[in-house]
Structure 1
Amino acid sequence: MKKIIFTEKAPAPIGPYNQAVLKGDTLYASGQIAIIPETGELNLGNIEVETKQVMENMKAVLHAAGMTFENVVKTSIFIMNMNDFASINAVYGSYFNEITAPARETVQVACLPKNVNVEISMIAIL
């Protein structure tokens, strides 16, 4: 059976999906964007601020499932502008131990929800 993971410390879903689903020992975390959970407003000061908000949202989802970034085995990063890659990567990288960092792909896309610049999803294992 699957278990739905939800926390008020991360943004509520903006569509017909859940923040995360735990199936067995594997957590499938939906993509997070830079929504401030307390206000529902976007945090788009600059790409570093936006990425930090995304990672903090994901941290809350992981925590709600009893996990940390050390449990993450795979991430997907979707960005609007590949020129932001280095800045996004610097913030993203600060949340992981480089030696045990997860597998990842980074893809430039034409558009993201609410016209944000970055969205990140993760898979984690207990």
Structure 2
Amino acid sequence: MPHTIINSVYAPAPIGPYSQAVLANGVLYVSGQIALDPASGQLVQDNIETETHQVMKNLQAILQEAGAGFAQVVKCTIFVKDLNNFGAINGVYGSYFGQNPPARETVEVNRLPKDVNVEISCMAVLA
């Protein structure tokens, strides 16, 4: 199956052996993003809202590199360190989607890369 690797200079470089996204058969699989500022390489963790906005901006940069946007996203997975932050995360997350948001699950986990509070991945249909 042929596929295309998608990398955006406007999103943080991968911190491990993975691509920012892979496009295969018209579906874009975007790796989980955390709140790394792509310009400085520093984590953005002023508060959970700011952290979530940075995660969404990183996803948006990768989607745009592939010629897509949030309107093409069909599935997201949100990993959170503390489900007590769900309301704040959900508010920010929801502001990036229109009338028909994608399917989604939210899972509380014990630990995330670089000890962040939230990580989000997504899939988008481009064809």
**TM band (smaller chain):** over 0.9
State how far apart, in whole Å, the 2-side matches of 1:61 and 1:32 are: 10
Give the gaps of 5 or more residues in structure 1: none
State how far apart, in whole Å, the 2-side matches of 1:71 and 1:9 are: 19
- Aligned match of 2:86: 85
> TM-score scaled to structure 2, two decimals?
0.98
CA RMSD of aligned residues (A): 0.4
Structure 1's consecutive aligned runs of 4 or more residues displaced over 3 angstroms after TM superposition are: none
Q: Does 1:109 align with 2:109?
A: yes
- Aligned match of 1:76: 77
- Aligned match of 1:95: 96
Identical residues among aligned pairs (%): 57
- Aligned match of 2:119: 119
- Aligned match of 1:67: 68
Residue 100 of structure 1, CA deviation: 1.1
State how far apart, in whole Å, the 1-side matches of 2:20 and 2:108 are: 23
Matches within 5 A, 1:45-60: 45-60=46-61
State how far apart, in whole Å, the 2-side matches of 1:101 and 1:22 are: 21
Give the gaps of 5 or more residues in structure 2: none
- Spell out, residue by residue over 1:54-83, the C-alpha distance to the aligned partner (whole angstroms, 9 max, x if none): 000000000000000000000000000000
Matches within 5 A, 1:2-13: 2-13=3-14
Residue 41 of structure 1, CA deviation: 0.3
